[in-house]
Amino acid sequence: MVRVKLIVAYDGTNYCGWQIQDNGITIEEILNRELSNLLKEDIKVIGASRTDSGVHALGNVAVFDTETKIPPEKISFALNQRLPEDIRIQESCQVADDFHPRFCDTIKTYEYKIWNARFPNPIVRLYSKFVYYKIDMEKMQKAAEYLVGEHDFKSFCSTRTQVENTVRTVTEISFRREGDMIIMKICGTGFLYNMVRIIMGTLLKCGMGMYEPEYVKEILEACDRQKAGPKAEACGLTLVGIEYL
């Protein structure tokens, strides 16, 4: 038996997220099905990040055990032949038998893209959120500073989830502009349910002048989801990568 780690990229547009569920097709389901077909075993992957419906990934991580004689680093090529073109394995390799993609110390990096122009751009519409209003990147950056570090992010967590400990550490939030595209990069050791999208929705209100940057401190301290901004659309979000420490 070997344990194999996959780095998985996908366009989330046509999927109901990562995790298997009844009401639609998911990335996990496709990987289980095509790995089982390829390796002639019943394969069940364990994912590092259960991304939401419509969220994209360049570097999600999945792990599975197999008896196959195919060298682990060749599985990427063989599996890509079978996968739909909106899912592509970027790497496959053997890992320690006790490696678990979720119960390890990691830094996860996400990017959120905003097309900030007079009109939507059809070519980036599936991978960014369109915002017509002028956005002040400096205000967003200033507001973001209150969120960097170890905090109770309860205000930035969807109330649909029940997690006991809502303390998380955000190690970096930075913004850059590429033409009319504004890109937020956010890194941290862990994120609550919808946390990145609620942070983006909140910082965007700062960027549009609807919240003062200082108000983000108040939101954080309130530990109340009602205080924060709306959850930004899924399509703007991409899980860029997961670094195992």
| End-to-end CA gap in the chain | 25
d(CA 230, CA 226): 9
Given 21, 121, 161, 174, the residue binding a copy of itself (CB under 8 A): 121
Query: Given the rule CB under 8 A, which of 84-92, 100-108, 143-151, 164-172 is the region that contacts a copy of itself?
Result: 84-92
User: What six digits make up the tokens of 41?
Assistant: 């075993």
Query: Which residues in 4-23 contact a copy of itself (CB under 8 A)?
Result: 9-11
Residue 240 binds a copy of itself (CB under 8 A): no
Q: Is 52 a catalytic residue?
A: yes
d(CA 155, CA 31): 34
Q: How many residues does the chain have?
A: 245
Residue 118 binds a copy of itself (CB under 8 A): yes
Given 19, 80, 94, 189, the residue binding a copy of itself (CB under 8 A): 80
d(CA 243, CA 189): 9
Cα-Cα-Cα-Cα dihedral sign, residues 70, 76, 79, 80: negative
- Point out the catalytic residue in the list 52, 97, 98, 136: 52
DSSP state for residue 66 in the 8-state scheme: E
DSSP track, 28-53: HHHHHHHHHHHHTS----EES--PPT
Task: State in angstroms the smallest separation of the CB of 99 from a copy of itself.
Answer: 22
Query: Given the rule CB under 8 A, which of 33-41, 80-88, 199-207, 220-228 is the region that contacts a copy of itself?
Result: 80-88
Residue 175 binds a copy of itself (CB under 8 A): no
Among all residues, which ones are annotated catalytic? 52
Interface residue list for a copy of itself (CB under 8 A): 9-11, 56, 58, 76, 80, 85-90, 118-123, 125, 127, 238
